[in-house]
């Protein structure tokens, strides 16, 4: 398939018809064989619902991702053994050799295999109460296939009345967009113009478990298949051992003026004095370089934290103790940053100071400007802050002094065996 072809201009009606086609068994029967696995069946078979095509005893199939080939020796259905099964049938397929299969893998025709990629282009109908935010982690569900995924780029919105395109930065409820998506692991799929039954997916909010969007995959992005991870001789463990410390991230979150940067700076000074290798990623400083192209809309804030989370991960891989001082107003993005690291490597520090206290301090005069309408999207004034529900460390910044709070942090790092 030409991955750079011009996409059809899908309006609301034609996209909806494709969604219906994805569920139509009579259409799916004529397509290549696909069976996403729901788990191992009794007796060592593979159980699942056939989404397209047919399979018969004696046929060959391939297990994806992975590529192991099998020959079908038996098919079990609800009423007993079958010689053949087709789209819409829920069956257990038995093979000529044992395989280590698991839910989410896909059995497919060997002579007409689906795509396997972790990046792809798709049309999405958004249905979430909150807007789509590119860069935010959602859960992609495609039958039994599950993976965390982000909208890496929102190319345009599709106007349903005439299928024309409009450049946008987000989607709201009921809008259709054409996007690039990036998943944490390879997904098995077909493009919607080849096999709609294997193109349909849902996006789910990871906090509420509610579906916020439905999509149809157009094609794999070529860059997803020509990039491989480069193994290096010196790893994180070796770098940490050389420094005599265990790397971690202390992620300071709280309102502007709560004292995050002051605490992080003094903590680094104290750690440096005892010979620890550290680095501070400060919100204002990073916006002078790495994130100088970002503003303060919700979309930009999500991308801001995504970049910093990935940067902090690199510094941890280098063996450093990293202090990240960012307002980071959204729980979802702080969770995304945590998920990038191992369990013991991420410490969320809530610098808890009431809005009234932060506004009274106002060290940079930002609250005064925000109240006067000179700064838009200012956290705590006209943009929300979502406080941590279960921070690893809470610092009562309106009550305790900076030295006392730093002592609390040093004590916690010692108890965790990090210094």
pLDDT at 30 over 90: no
Looking at the domain assignment, is residue 250 inside a domain? yes
- In a shared domain, residues 266 and 411: yes
pLDDT at 227 over 80: no
- In a shared domain, residues 265 and 378: yes
Looking at the domain assignment, is residue 3 inside a domain? no
- In a shared domain, residues 361 and 259: yes
- In a shared domain, residues 272 and 339: yes
Asked if 96 contacts 59 with a C-beta cutoff of 8 angstroms, the reply is no
User: What token pair was written down for 334?
Assistant: 């702080």
- In a shared domain, residues 348 and 374: yes
Active-site residue (options: 86, 115, 256, 328): 328
CATH of the domain at 194: 2.40.30.10
Looking at the domain assignment, is residue 376 inside a domain? yes
Q: Which pLDDT score, from 0 to 100, does residue 7 have?
A: 41
343-391, pLDDT tens digit by residue?
Answer: 899 999 999 999 999 999 988 899 999 898 888 889 989 888 999 999 9
**Roughly how many angstroms between the first and final C-alpha of the chain, as a whole number?**
54
pLDDT tier for residue 9 given thresholds of 50, 70 and 90: very low
* 328 has catalytic annotation: yes
- In a shared domain, residues 86 and 130: no
- In a shared domain, residues 286 and 410: yes
Q: How many domains does the chain have?
A: 3
- Tell me whether residue 3 is exposed, middle or buried, using C-beta atoms within 10 angstroms of its C-beta: 0 to 12, 13 to 18, 19 or more: middle
pLDDT at 406 over 90: yes
Looking at the domain assignment, is residue 5 inside a domain? no
Of 201, 224, 247, the position where a domain reaches its end is: 224
CA nearest neighbour of 10 among 182, 215, 211: 215
Of 176, 193, 224, the position where a domain reaches its end is: 224
Looking at the domain assignment, is residue 258 inside a domain? yes
386-405, pLDDT tens digit by residue?
Answer: 999 999 999 999 999 999 99
- In a shared domain, residues 141 and 290: no
Q: Which segments within 127-230 are labelled E, that is strand?
A: 137-142, 145-158, 165-166, 176-189, 200-204, 211-220
Looking at the domain assignment, is residue 259 inside a domain? yes
User: What token pair was written down for 417?
Assistant: 């065996």
Asked if 201 contacts 18 with a C-beta cutoff of 8 angstroms, the reply is no
- The CA dihedral of 146, 8, 175, 19, to the nearest 10 degrees, is -50
Expressed as residue numbers, the domain containing 265 is 236-415
Put simply, whether the predicted model's pTM sits higher than 0.75 gets the answer no
- Tell me whether residue 99 is exposed, middle or buried, using C-beta atoms within 10 angstroms of its C-beta: 0 to 12, 13 to 18, 19 or more: middle
- In a shared domain, residues 247 and 154: no
């Amino acid at each position: 398939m030409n991955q750079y072809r011009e996409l059809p201009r899908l309006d609301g009606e034609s996209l909806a018809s494709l969604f219906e086609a994805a569920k139509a068994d009579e259409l799916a029967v004529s397509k290549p064989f696909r069976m996403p696995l729901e788990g191992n069946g009794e007796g060592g078979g593979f159980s699942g619902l056939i989404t397209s095509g047919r399979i018969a005893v004696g046929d060959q199939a391939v297990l994806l991702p992975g590529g192991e080939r099998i020959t079908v020796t038996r098919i079990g259905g609800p009423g007993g053994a079958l010689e053949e099964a087709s789209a819409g049938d829920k069956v257990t397929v038995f093979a000529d050799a044992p395989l280590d299969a698991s839910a989410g893998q896909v059995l497919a025709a060997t002579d007409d295999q689906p795509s396997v990629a972790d990046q792809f282009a798709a049309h999405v109908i958004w249905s979430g109460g909150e807007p789509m935010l590119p860069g935010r982690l959602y859960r992609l569900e495609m039958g039994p296939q599950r993976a965390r995924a982000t909208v890496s780029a929102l190319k345009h919105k599709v106007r349903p009345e005439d299928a024309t395109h409009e450049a946008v930065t987000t989607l709201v409820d009921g809008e259709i967009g054409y996007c690039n998506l990036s998943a944490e692991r390879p997904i098995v799929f077909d493009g919607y113009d080849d096999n709609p039954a294997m193109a349909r997916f849902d996006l789910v909010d990871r906090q509420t478990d509610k579906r916020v969007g439905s999509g149809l995959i157009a094609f794999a992005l070529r860059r997803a298949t020509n990039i491989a991870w480069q193994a290096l001789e010196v790893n994180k463990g070796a770098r940490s051992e050389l420094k005599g410390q265990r790397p971690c991230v202390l992620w300071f979150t709280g309102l502007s003026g709560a004292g995050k940067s002051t605490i992080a700076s003094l903590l680094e000074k104290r750690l440096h004095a005892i010979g620890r290798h550290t680095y501070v990623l400060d919100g204002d400083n990073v916006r002078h370089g790495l994130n100088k192209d970002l503003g303060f809309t919700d979309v930009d804030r999500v991308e801001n934290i995504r970049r910093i989370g990935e940067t902090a991960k690199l510094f941890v891989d280098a063996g450093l103790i990293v202090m990240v001082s960012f307002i980071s107003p959204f729980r979802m993005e702080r969770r995304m940053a945590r998920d990038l690291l191992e369990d013991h490597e991420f410490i969320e520090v809530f610098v808890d100071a009431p809005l009234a206290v932060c506004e009274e301090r106002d060290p940079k005069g930002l609250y005064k400007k925000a109240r006067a309408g000179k700064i838009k999207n200012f956290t705590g004034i006209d943009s929300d802050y979502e406080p941590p529900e279960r921070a690893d460390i809470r610092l009562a910044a309106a009550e305790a002094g900076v030295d006392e709070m730093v002592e609390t942090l040093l004590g916690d790092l010692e108890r965790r065996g990090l210094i």
